[in-house]
Structure 1
Amino acid sequence: MGYAPGAYDLFHIGHLNILRHARSQCDYLVAGVVSDEMAELAKGRRPMIPLVERLEIVRSVKYVDAAFVETVPDKLETWKQVRFDVLFKGDDWRGTPKGDKLERDFASVGVEIVYFPYTVHTSSTQLRRALDLLTQEAEPSVSGERR
């Protein structure tokens, strides 16, 4: 069984690629969708799309067999509940302190970490920045003119 965790905020092609590649590497894929609170802890801000909607989107992707809400920061605690054999991440995690810790932690329980190419040209962070800029431009300034 494979596990592909993420916030899946502003669902885009990078998310779809991870789920597609993950499903091709396992017989059963569980997508872990982090709660709003967990996303805020990890990224310093809440997702733009609420958990219930992100969960429904991910659950509806044909590559996903089941979706699980992550409510704790420790992935080993999540593993104790889901019991997956392989954890899938974008390769932007490879060689980072967080990625190295993930590999060490899961080596202790026999879970393999598989990295997939990170979709550089599209990310939720980039989409959020673009939306923020559009919102700023649309807001009237103090003088009543658009920015």
Structure 2
Amino acid sequence: MAKTVITFGTFDVLHVGHVRVLNRAAAYGDRLVVGVSSDALNFSKKGRNPVFSQDERVELVSNLKVVDEVFVEESLELKKDYILQHEADVLVMGDDWTGRFDWVSDVCEVVYLPRTPSVSTTAIIEHIVTTRPIG
């Protein structure tokens, strides 16, 4: 029987850290399902709108070869519902969320993976803003 892995994220300004965590997540099973945070959820988590719209981010993630299915995540509180809906066996999250989703461990295995050092969407955006020529 195929083992399904589920993960979640904003995936704004797609970068090598995103690709690496998705590749590592995919290695935990046979099928990778990705919940892309809605624009509203992203704003509530980070206090800013994403650079790319949720439709653009869904399109980007959908076109990565390790990803089998993508859906829009509307709420952090619905994690267990999403896991059950997609029949996931493993939830994989970045270690910046360590412990935050242990409450779903009654329906699937929960794994927290280390983030890629020195790569962050926020840092990339800040770099672009500070190095962009004025005028």
**TM-score, normalised on structure 2?**
0.89
Equivalent residue, structure 1, for 2:28: 25
**Could you tell me whether the CA contact under 8 Å between 1:32 and 1:69 is conserved in 2?**
yes
Equivalent residue, structure 1, for 2:17: 14
For residues 66 and 77 of structure 1, what CA distance do their matches in structure 2 show?
16
Equivalent residue, structure 1, for 2:104: 106
For residues 18 and 88 of structure 2, what CA distance do their matches in structure 1 show?
19
Note the alpha carbon deviations across 1:64-92, whole angstroms, 9 max, x for none.
01111101221123224323111111122
Which fold has the larger relative contact order, with Cα–Cα distance below 8 Å and residues 6 or more apart in sequence? 2
Which runs of no fewer than 5 residues in structure 1 stay unpaired? 95-99, 141-147
- Structure 1 stretches of 4+ with a deviation exceeding 4 A read none
Give the deviation of 1:2 after TM superposition: 0.5
Give the deviation of 1:130 after TM superposition: 0.7
3-state DSSP class of the match of 1:45?
coil
Equivalent pairs counted in the alignment come to 131
Give the deviation of 1:23 after TM superposition: 1.0
Give the deviation of 1:31 after TM superposition: 1.0
For residues 47 and 87 of structure 2, what CA distance do their matches in structure 1 show?
28
Larger Rg: 1
**C-alpha RMSD of matched pairs (Å):** 1.4
**TM-score, normalised on structure 1?**
0.82
* Percentage of matched positions with identical amino acids: 34
Letter in 2 for 1:90: G
